[in-house]
Amino acid sequence: MNFFNRVGQIGLGVALVGGVVNSALYNVDGGHRAVIFDRFSGVKNQVVGEGTHFFIPWVQRPIIFDIRSRPRNVPVITGSKDLQNVNITLRILFRPFPDQLPKIYTVLGQDYEERVLPSITTEVLKAVVAQFDAGELITQRDLVSQKVSDHLTERGAQFGVILDDISITHLTFGREFTLAVELKQVAQQEAEKARFLVEKAEQTKKATVISAEGDAQAAVLLAKAFGDTGEGLVELRRIEAAEDIAYQLSRSRQVSYLPTGQNLLLNLPTTATQ
């Protein structure tokens, strides 16, 4: 009986010790880091790496941070150099500096990205976009993206945030600018059409001039021929015209040729008057 009581006491003691030890352990998963908050000394400067670690229950509390790159889309409405409304959306891959996690937790908290990324993104985009016209934002998009990336990376580092990738995923303009672009395209099409009509008129004019010059030269040649040959040329043209008319009439089925000097009327009997 005493043996079983002894075993029960030992088992109870082991369970209590196990419970205490288990409550003093915490795990840091892969891609995460921990910061220890102490009730007496505050946030410790030491950053705890991956694995299982001890802490003092009630006195200390571990705060886990994800240090892997995470995406975030930040939409911003700003203005261009020529005062056009521009809607831009940036896709940012961010993560914290592991060594600066105690400072980040003390100054910003665990939701540091909510406090930092929207504000610095809006600030940088307004400053960069204001340097370009609406047309330049389209034609020089690579330059705009590079400037935004450089300035935003520098600003993020001031808060202990690493920006691995920054890209412009959405870029649109206000309704007025879109309508102006459409009207400009229509005007360009009308200008192209007008230019085509002008070129066509020029070609027609040149053809008319050439035809008139040809007729003038023909008239000069005819006048010269009349002067050299007299009425012979006119008679030749009359004969050629008569041949052409005869040829055309010979092909018609409704035309018949009759010999000359003959009376084709039927000889009808006549009554002699006495």
Q: How far apart are CA 141 and CA 88, in angstroms?
A: 12
Residue 272 has pLDDT above 50, yes or no: no
What is the predicted pLDDT for the residue at 234?
66
Q: How far apart are CA 75 and CA 116, in angstroms?
A: 14
pTM value surpassing 0.85: no
Residue 19 has pLDDT above 60, yes or no: no
Q: In residues, how long is the chain?
A: 274
- Encode pLDDT of 214-253 as tens digits: 877 877 776 776 666 666 666 767 777 777 777 777 777 6
Options 3.30.479.30, 3.40.50.720, 3.90.550.10, 3.30.360.10; CATH for 70-173 is 3.30.479.30
3-class SS shares of the chain: helix, strand, coil, % to 5:
55, 25, 25
274 — pLDDT class (breaks 50, 70, 90): very low
- Round the average pLDDT of the chain to a whole number and report it: 81
- Encode pLDDT of 115-145 as tens digits: 999 999 999 999 999 999 888 888 898 999 9
- Encode pLDDT of 39-74 as tens digits: 898 999 999 999 989 888 888 999 999 999 999 999
What is the predicted pLDDT for the residue at 13?
62
Handedness of CA 157, 161, 167, 172 (dihedral sign): negative
Amino acid of residue 159: F
Residue 6 has pLDDT above 70, yes or no: no
**Rounded mean pLDDT of 94-105?**
94
What's the token pair of residue 134? 């609406």
**According to the per-residue pLDDT averaged within each range, which of 3-7, 118-122, 135-139, 203-207 is highest?**
118-122
Cβ proximity of 28 and 53 under 8 Å: yes
The ranges assigned to domains in the chain are: 9-65, 70-173, 185-220
Lowest-pLDDT choice from 91-105, 207-221, 231-245, 254-268: 254-268
